[in-house]
Structure 1
Amino acid sequence: MPLQAGRSLSHLLRSRAARASRADSFGLFDSLQQTAQSMSTAIVHAIPAISAVPE
């Protein structure tokens, strides 16, 4: 019986760790997406300024 309890506890800890790492990668993805969005916004705003510069 104690062996079974230990096994289920380790399974619980492993699944919790997997869930935490998944959430962490989603957080990383969100921050990358926000960075890409702000970069594209900056580029869109910079294009008229770049094209207005005389050769």
Structure 2
Amino acid sequence: MGMVRIRLFEFLYQTQGQEPTIEKFRAFYQLQSNLGFFSFSICSAKKILINYPRFIIT
């Protein structure tokens, strides 16, 4: 799951024409360890989207 979050982060920044950096990644995710496994969890203080966009298909 960690690699999925990294790739999604890279994709979102690149589609906006910005350079994804480690500093920007660390602003949204933190490394956590559980039973010897490492993963990235979303920082609870950060909210990227308050309201998700709604798509209407016609």
What is the TM-score when the length of structure 2 is the normalising length? Answer: 0.29
Rg bigger for which structure? 1
Larger % of strand: which? 2
Higher relative contact order (CA closer than 8 Å, sequence separation 6+): 2
Larger % of helix: which? 1
What is the TM-score when the length of structure 1 is the normalising length? Answer: 0.30
